[in-house]
Amino acid sequence: MPARRLFCRCFRRSAEMQAIHDDGVIKYSSQRVDGVMAPSAQLDQLDRARTTLFDLGLIGVYSNGIGYGNLSLRTSGQQFLITGSATGALRHLRPDQFCLVESFSIDNNSVRSRGALEASSESMTHGAIYATDPVVRCVMHVHSRILFDALLAQNAPHTSPDISYGTPAMARAVAQLVATQHSLPVLFVMAGHDEGIVTYGADIDSVLALLVETLNRNLNHDKDRHHRR
């Protein structure tokens, strides 16, 4: 397995340590039907992109056992495939570790899905993006200390720091942000979700490319910080 580039959470203030305790916790009301996704070219392509992000340290698991990072791909309408909850420690995912979100309600804070696992805790955020922009077909949510700090310092598009991840408020804030963007792909910061970065666009390749290019650009500007432990 390739060596991973570990740059997430190099140093953390005590307030930030408190903020990660609910990372990965599902906050929506789940209506899940048990099932297994059939193998497909779509799942293969999504998993390859996910493996790239895993090897970069943008998807993974923290020392407290909480996983981070999730990917999704629109199938039709507002339905989408998404990585299952608590899969961050795995470099590759099997079809049964993906879920199909069949519908969601921001107002009711509910997600209806099909799969062997619960859909990602960020499912409503992904859904809000798909519902707002019909051209979007792929969403990637990753964690990176360097990107989070650098992009906020650059005043990149971001949600309010007062809005927590996985909530109806976050889904609404994301929908409002997406509505202001007029070209794809797009990258923004979830300022209220420590280290949270979201990228979305019309296809897997363009979304992944923007994320990797943005990471490399900021690593080149801060090489010393990248190597801190």
pLDDT over 60 at 225, yes or no: no
pLDDT band at 23 (very low <50, low <70, confident <90, very high): low
Please write the tens of the pLDDT for every residue from 27-79.
898 899 999 999 999 999 999 999 999 999 999 999 999 999 999 999 999 99
Instruction: Calculate the alpha carbon distances from 131 to 78, 95, 105, 124, 187 in Å.
Output: 6, 25, 11, 10, 17
Q: Which residues have a Cβ under 8 Å from the Cβ of 22 and sit 6 or more positions away? A: none
Dihedral of alpha carbons 109, 103, 54, 56, sign: negative
pTM of the predicted protein model = 0.87
pLDDT value for 209? 99
DSSP bridge partners of 83: 98
Contact indicator for 186, 199 with CB cutoff of 8 Å: yes
CATH fold of 26-226, please?
A: L-fuculose-1-phosphate Aldolase (3.40.225)
pLDDT band at 221 (very low <50, low <70, confident <90, very high): low
pLDDT over 90 at 8, yes or no: no
pLDDT value for 222? 56
Q: What angle do CA 157, 159, 162 make, to 5 degrees?
A: 145
Q: Where are the domains of the chain?
A: 26-226
Residue with the larger pLDDT of the pair 24 and 205: 205
pLDDT band at 211 (very low <50, low <70, confident <90, very high): very high
Separation CA 34–CA 31 (nearest Å): 10
